[in-house]
Chains A and B, each alone.
Chain A
Amino acid sequence: MAAVQTSGEKALNRVAIVAVLVITLIFLAPIYWIVSTSFKPRNLSTTIPPTIVFTPEVSPFVKLFTKRSQLREPPTAEEYAAAPWWERMVFDGGEKVVRDGKGNVQWSAYPNRFMNSLIVAITSTVLAVSMGTITAYGFSRFRVKGEADMLFFILSTRMLPPVVVAIPMFLMYRAVGLNDTHWGLIILYTAFNLSFSVWLMKGFIDEIPKEYEEAALVDGYTRMEAFFKIVIPEAATGIAATAVFCFITAWNEYAFALIMTNRRAQTAPPFIPSQVGSGLPDWTVIAAGTFLFLLPVAIFTFLLRNHLLRGMSFGAIRK
């Protein structure tokens, strides 16, 4: 009987589905806005009301990846004819692509900033998750003196809003030469994520029966081997979930990236809004940069989706 729904339950179900759809649409609207703007011609990007129907073009992406300058006068017919298709798009927008003395196209800083974001986010995620897993294992499996206090201390490092320490951190970083370096941001993000990673991983490791490792110890393996052969595969789901959370935090971080970096190690979040174009802000270029910036998290989450579905329930459903 439990599987049979009454008509009342059915109606309730429908209402729930509609509600979920509406909420999903509300959440997706800004994403649609960004994605559509990144394919709009510049003159349609700021119309009121917003243009919904338009012919999509890739000029925002061309502009995103190249260095441009304002044209004083329109290109000559030969210049225009000699230019490749993508350069014509820049001409059409009243700008020209900057070339060096040998005629090589000058790239914009975007690819480099994007790489910085990847380097910083991936490295800090790997560090936070691996250190967090080992720490959590220690707390979970051994009698640690003052365990509760230490765990609380670890958690308490999260209670302070990070921006509060931005200025002292900036001064400290400047003193030790970590300003505008990859390692500077990596250390910072690892520190942010570590407490979270320890707590989350402790929950997952507590769920793994210690009998598995003990069986391995008795079978002639060291604690280390048992950890890698038994615990890590069992904790894979938890590691995936923790990694996604850490990656998202590091990838999206704005305030510290803005303060601590300006060129060499600058990540994409502070860079994208800084490129408001030569002259008036070109929102299509900003949208294109934002759109590409959204992709890694989406891809990363998608790749780990099987682990996440189980991991997000925080071990409630293990099978």
Chain B
Amino acid sequence: MAHIQLKNVTKKFGNHTALRHLDLDIADGEFFVLLGETGAGKTTTLRIIAGLEKPTEGQVLIDGVDVADWGAAERDVALVLQQYSLYPRYTVRQNLEFPLKSKLRRVPDAEIAERVARVAKTLRIEHLLERKTDKLSGGEMQRVSIGRAIVRKPRVFLMDEPLSALDAKLREALRTELKNIQMNLGQTFLFVTHDQIEAMSMGDKIGVLNHGHLVQTGTPNEIYNNPKNTFVARAVGSPPMNLIDGKLVSGRAVMAPLNFELPYEGAANGNVEGRALTFGIRPEDLVVESGAPVEAKVHDVENHGVEKILTLRVGDAMLRATVPAQTHLAIEDAVRFSWNPEKVVLFDQKSGNSLKHAG
């Protein structure tokens, strides 16, 4: 049970800045996902919270207490890493027992056995208990790593891309499992990933990290529907948001250089008219229908089962649109499309910031 706060945390490695003025607030019991590309500073953030790394500047608070002087052992966090987190010479059982046998915790033997048994059951690894960990498959290893974190009942769980080394099926299964575990335990999770689908599907809240800078935090919905800038718009969603440069001219979106027009109904507050903008529209909000105002060629069709993702060619730009799976379209077919004007997000073309967030 814990409330984690980072206040103005900066971390420098030599003259390379990994994190800049990071403010993060993770409520008790929240499943918080930190999303970012490689090198964004995700692992560094986790290591700072775990006490394995000292911030160059700023504070880490756990339940309101500044933990600057606490070692990793005293912070009582559990850390699950992408790899190398199991002790290779130990059996699965010994790995699970290891954190409970620390002098700091002094758990009685009977309770150790009981807790290990319960965790093994939850994660369905009972049959592996006496095996050496270096002989396990990737999925089994990650189950054991997660098990080693949950036997301990730590104050907070820190997970550094625990699923990224697994194949897609297993990843999906463990995703659901982890989410269930979190809901049952009701504990604070900080989960790090570069996979936006993982972030969207698991997080109560998402923080988007870009080059050591926390760009936006919010619920998956807020992040998805109302990205703070074009970076977030591109980072979240699969396929990502379409971004088209243009201008607002008397209530219509006039694209340039693409040279087509679409109606825009949003409240155009004041000085938006004529300013260089970027229009953001999600693929599912592009409507492909005959009689729509803009013409395009079908460049590619991807069948995803429940739906198809079209790549439309307009001039030399590519736009993505999702259509129901029944739609029959072939490559190079001519189609017409429009958008759902209510769902359009406006960004300033120069800064990339959403006009809504700018106020």
Residues of A whose CB lies within 8 Å of any CB of B are: 209, 211-212, 214-222, 225, 230, 233-234
CB of A217 within 8 A of CB of B71, answer yes
CB of B77 within 8 A of CB of A219, answer no
CB of A218 within 8 A of CB of B73, answer yes
CB of A220 within 8 A of CB of B73, answer yes
Report B91-106 CB contacts with A as 1/0, cut-off 8 Å: 0000000110011110
CB of A220 within 8 A of CB of B102, answer yes
**In angstroms, how far is the closest chain A Cβ from the Cβ of B266?**
48
CB of B87 within 8 A of CB of A212, answer yes
In Å, the complex CA distance between A225 and B276 comes to: 61
Whether A234 touches B89, Cβ cut-off 8 Å, given contacts A218-B78, A222-B73, is yes
Query: B99: nearest residue on chain A (CB-CB)?
Result: A219
Taking a contact as CB atoms closer than 8 A, the residue among A212, A222, A225 that contacts B84 in the complex is: A212
Residues of B within 8 Å of A217, CB to CB, are: 51-52, 71-73
Residues of B within 8 Å of A230, CB to CB, are: 87
Q: A218-B75, A222-B73, A225-B103 are in contact. List 10 more A-B contacts (CB 8 A).
A: A211-B83, A214-B50, A214-B72, A217-B52, A217-B71, A220-B105, A221-B73, A221-B102, A221-B104, A230-B87
Residues of A within 8 Å of B72, CB to CB, are: 214, 217-218
Whether A233 touches B50, Cβ cut-off 8 Å, given contacts A211-B84, A220-B102, is no
Residues of B within 8 Å of A221, CB to CB, are: 73, 102-104
Residues of B within 8 Å of A234, CB to CB, are: 88-89
Most chain A CB neighbours (cut-off 10 Å) among B87, B104, B148: B87
Residues of B whose CB lies within 8 Å of any CB of A are: 50-52, 71-73, 75-79, 81, 83-85, 87-89, 98-99, 102-105, 148, 152
CB of A216 within 8 A of CB of B98, answer yes
In Å, the complex CA distance between A250 and B214 comes to: 59
Name the 7 nearest CB pairs between A and B, nearest first: A220-B102, A219-B99, A211-B84, A217-B72, A220-B104, A209-B84, A220-B73
11 interchain pairs (CB within 8 A)? A209-B84, A212-B87, A214-B50, A217-B51, A218-B77, A219-B99, A220-B76, A220-B152, A221-B73, A221-B103, A233-B89
CB of B50 within 8 A of CB of A218, answer yes
In Å, the complex CA distance between A111 and B113 comes to: 54
Taking a contact as CB atoms closer than 8 A, the residue among B81, B83, B88, B102 that contacts A219 in the complex is: B102
In Å, the complex CA distance between A25 and B99 comes to: 55
CB of A219 within 8 A of CB of B98, answer yes
Residues of A within 8 Å of B75, CB to CB, are: 218
In Å, the complex CA distance between A230 and B76 comes to: 20
Query: A217: nearest residue on chain B (CB-CB)?
Result: B72
**In angstroms, how far is the closest chain A Cβ from the Cβ of B43?**
11
Residues of A within 8 Å of B105, CB to CB, are: 220
CB of A218 within 8 A of CB of B52, answer yes
In Å, the complex CA distance between A227 and B88 comes to: 15
Residues of A within 8 Å of B51, CB to CB, are: 217-218
CB of A218 within 8 A of CB of B79, answer yes
Residues of B within 8 Å of A222, CB to CB, are: 73
Residues of A within 8 Å of B88, CB to CB, are: 212, 234
In Å, the complex CA distance between A211 and B104 comes to: 20
In Å, the complex CA distance between A129 and B103 comes to: 28
CB of B102 within 8 A of CB of A215, answer no
In Å, the complex CA distance between A9 and B105 comes to: 62
Most chain B CB neighbours (cut-off 10 Å) among A209, A212, A214, A216: A214
Residues of B within 8 Å of A209, CB to CB, are: 84
CB of B102 within 8 A of CB of A211, answer no
Residues of B within 8 Å of A225, CB to CB, are: 102-103
**In angstroms, how far is the closest chain A Cβ from the Cβ of B88?**
7
Residues of B within 8 Å of A216, CB to CB, are: 87, 98
In Å, the complex CA distance between A197 and B50 comes to: 34
CB of A215 within 8 A of CB of B71, answer no
Residues of B within 8 Å of A233, CB to CB, are: 89
Residues of A within 8 Å of B79, CB to CB, are: 214-215, 218
Residues of A within 8 Å of B84, CB to CB, are: 209, 211-212, 215
Query: B77: nearest residue on chain A (CB-CB)?
Result: A218
**In angstroms, how far is the closest chain A Cβ from the Cβ of B136?**
14
Query: A230: nearest residue on chain B (CB-CB)?
Result: B87
**In angstroms, how far is the closest chain A Cβ from the Cβ of B70?**
12
**In angstroms, how far is the closest chain A Cβ from the Cβ of B90?**
9
Residues of B within 8 Å of A219, CB to CB, are: 73, 98-99, 102, 148, 152
Residues of A within 8 Å of B87, CB to CB, are: 212, 215-216, 230
Residues of B within 8 Å of A212, CB to CB, are: 84, 87-88
In Å, the complex CA distance between A35 and B347 comes to: 89
Residues of B within 8 Å of A214, CB to CB, are: 50, 52, 72, 79
In Å, the complex CA distance between A234 and B86 comes to: 13
Query: B152: nearest residue on chain A (CB-CB)?
Result: A219
Residues of A within 8 Å of B104, CB to CB, are: 220-221
Query: A214: nearest residue on chain B (CB-CB)?
Result: B52
Most chain B CB neighbours (cut-off 10 Å) among A216, A217, A219: A219
Query: B85: nearest residue on chain A (CB-CB)?
Result: A215
In Å, the complex CA distance between A138 and B104 comes to: 24
In Å, the complex CA distance between A225 and B105 comes to: 14
Query: B160: nearest residue on chain A (CB-CB)?
Result: A211
